[in-house]
Amino acid sequence: MGRKFFVGGNWKCNGTVESLSKLVGVLNAGEIVSTDIVEVVVAPTFIYLPMVKDKLRKEIQVSAQNCWVKKGGAYTGEVSAEQLVDMGIPYVILGHSERRHILKESHDFVGEKCAYALSKGLKVIACIGETLDEREAGDTIKVCAQQLDAIKEAIGDNWANVVVAYEPVWAIGTGKVATPEQAEDVHLEVRKWLAENVSAEVAESTRILYGGSVTAGNCKELAKKPNVDGFLVGGASLKAEFIDIINSAQAKVEH
């Protein structure tokens, strides 16, 4: 069986009860292709997760944007994997570049978070990606491999509930999307890394998403690339065009 296309909306630290209720209304009313060909997940901040989960059509799942690295307890301000499971949240995004760079989460810390979240039954959207300096230095693949190495070190061969999101930092929120060729080049290398470091089966079955300035206008061309299995969308996931991005799954199927 092929890899099911996956579209995630990372709402980041955006929204109010009013604006997110409107957005959920738009998503509920939108015509989306069958969930036979696409898996859709949106990630509001923790505080709005229950509200969004309640109001959203059941074809769209929800995800947290982060969770604590181990069992909960005296960790002020954190939310544990157990608590997400308790609230019926199936997914968590881990290792987003905003957390790696602004909050200084190390490769190892992200790896440990992935392992703990998986051990509690969460599915993980694990983000990797290079900065502009790293790309210009020719280190894109090296950096992605280091990030993947740390995840592998912590989770071993247990990749069945992992979706990898390749998000070049220079493309996030900048309007400067990677070309379909640039995305495909890295996705292919990530798949090779999985084949060499985990197994051929995991390489074949793991979805590799692209993230960074994805819009309704550029998603179809990206979706046609053989190793692009979907998207993790920031800004455009807060707008009605997210529906079009979900529906780019059709372009993938037809290609």
Catalytic residue among 39, 96, 184, 187: 96
Catalytic residue among 98, 105, 167, 241: 167
**Residue number with CB closer to ligand 13P (42 or 145):** 42
**Residue number with CB closer to ligand 13P (198 or 245):** 245
- Helical ranges in the chain per DSSP H: 17-29, 49-55, 81-86, 97-101, 107-119, 132-136, 140-155, 180-197, 200-205, 219-223, 241-254
Closest separation in Å from C-beta 104 to ligand 13P: 17
Q: Does 187 participate in catalysis according to the annotation? A: no
Q: Round to whole Å and give the CA distance between 216 and 243.
A: 8
Closest separation in Å from C-beta 105 to ligand 13P: 14
Closest separation in Å from C-beta 235 to ligand 13P: 4
**Residue number with CB closer to ligand 13P (82 or 140):** 140
User: What is the torsional sign of CA 31, 224, 204, 196?
Assistant: negative
Q: Round to whole Å and give the CA distance between 42 and 55.
A: 12
Burial class (CB within 10 angstroms; exposed 0-12, middle 13-18, buried 19+) of 224: middle
Site for ligand 13P in 78-97 (CB under 6 A): 96
According to DSSP, the β-strands at 230-233 and 5-10 are parallel
Residue with tokens 């009313």: 29
Q: Round to whole Å and give the CA distance between 208 and 6.
A: 9
Closest separation in Å from C-beta 126 to ligand 13P: 12
**Residue number with CB closer to ligand 13P (96 or 100):** 96
| Alpha-carbon separation of residue 112 from 11, 200, 203, 248 (angstroms) | 24, 24, 21, 33
Q: Considering the rule CB under 6 A, would residue 168 count as an interface residue with ligand 13P?
A: no
Q: Considering the rule CB under 6 A, would residue 167 count as an interface residue with ligand 13P?
A: yes
Q: Which residue is nearest to ligand 13P (CB)?
A: 234
Q: Does 255 participate in catalysis according to the annotation? A: no
Site for ligand 13P in 4-33 (CB under 6 A): 10
Q: Considering the rule CB under 6 A, would residue 148 count as an interface residue with ligand 13P?
A: no
Please answer whether residues 11 and 237 qualify as being in contact, where contact means their C-beta atoms are separated by less than 8 angstroms: yes
Spell out, one character per residue from 28 to 57, where the chain touches ligand 13P: x when CB under 6 A holds, - when not.
Answer: ------------------------------
Please answer whether residues 207 and 3 qualify as being in contact, where contact means their C-beta atoms are separated by less than 8 angstroms: yes
Closest separation in Å from C-beta 74 to ligand 13P: 30
Site for ligand 13P in 200-239 (CB under 6 A): 211-214, 232-236
Residue with tokens 């905003």: 98
Q: Give catalytic residues, as residue numbers.
A: 96, 167
List contacts with ligand 13P (CB under 6 A).
Answer: 10, 96, 167, 172-173, 211-214, 232-236
